[in-house]
Amino acid sequence: MQEQAEKFVEKYGKEAAWKVDTAFSGTRSDPSHRGMIAGIGVENFHPGALTVGVICGILNELHEQYEQMCQLTGKKATRLTGSGNGIRRNSLMRRLAEEMFKMPMEIPEYEEEAAYGAALTAGKLVAAM
């Protein structure tokens, strides 16, 4: 899938991909909101167009939340850190995120970030006893 998506972007550009709203389980502000797919045509009827659309849909959701945080705090981020296997193993997703957020992405050294963080927290709690 990633290879097809990369080839699609290379040949047609990400703008030619399907427009995918990935709110499959609603959003924080509207739990009843459901996702949808639009922009399918003969010229982009390609599996890569769907994959790029889903990647961009996920990133759009994250970027919207980021913009809301910036408005609430009056501050912009100075670093972009990605975690999880989706971003770690998908170079196209990282590149598109860097373009969207306009900054380079850092990936943590250790995999399974949530488990690693939980282990660090447990270690601190045990050490404090």
Domain spans in the chain, listed from the N-terminal domain onward = 2-128
Convert the pLDDT of each residue in 98-124 to its tens digit: 999 999 999 988 888 888 889 999 998
CA 92 centroid distance within chain: 10
| pTM for this prediction | 0.85
20-34, 40-54, 92-106: which has the minimum mean pLDDT?
20-34
The pLDDT assigned to 81 comes to: 93
- Give CA–CA dist 22/66, Å, rounded: 16
Q: Looking at domain 2-128, what is its CATH homologous superfamily? A: ATPase, nucleotide binding domain (3.30.420.40)
| Cα 109 to Cα 80, 98, 100, distances in angstroms | 14, 18, 23
